[in-house]
Amino acid sequence: MTRHLLITTLVAAAAIGASLLAGPHRRGALVGSGTASLTAFASLFLMGRSARTRKPMNAALAVMVLMFLARIVVVALGTALTVRAGESVVAFIVAFFVPYFTFAAIEGWYLHSLRGTGPTA
């Protein structure tokens, strides 16, 4: 889990750093990369906690699905709030989804690492 968190931290730092360089679209981009990063950390934390159960793969996969659904709500709220604040919604969407796909790959990698744990048969 530590290497997954380390890589997630590096990706989050890169995403937020790139958002800071977005010029006039900085605020929308920061909201997007910030929410993507926070949901990624929450997802990995909850997956790690749920992996301590009797069936770690099933529990972690359930967390991944629930966090996906939570991210749909977060994107909808973030888009609405970004538009309402008069910020760039395109910057928000790009800054959310570009790191999100990387975070999803890291979460999938973590799930893959669980396949050898837990009881068999």
Angle value at C-alpha 54, between 40 and 113, nearest 5 degrees = 45
Distance in angstroms (rounded) separating the CA atoms of residues 75 and 72: 5
Q: What are 66-74's contacts with CB under 8 Å, separation 24+?
A: 67/39, 67/42, 67/43, 70/39, 71/39, 71/100, 74/35, 74/39
Residue-wise pLDDT for 55-113, tens only, equals 888 888 899 899 999 999 999 999 999 999 999 999 999 999 999 999 999 999 998 88
Q: What's the pLDDT at 79?
A: 95
Q: What are the sequence ranges of the domains in the chain?
A: 2-116
What pTM value is reported for the model? Answer: 0.85
Phi and psi at residue 56, to the nearest 5°:
-65, -40
Picking from 50, 34, 28, the residue whose alpha carbon sits closest to that of residue 107 is 50
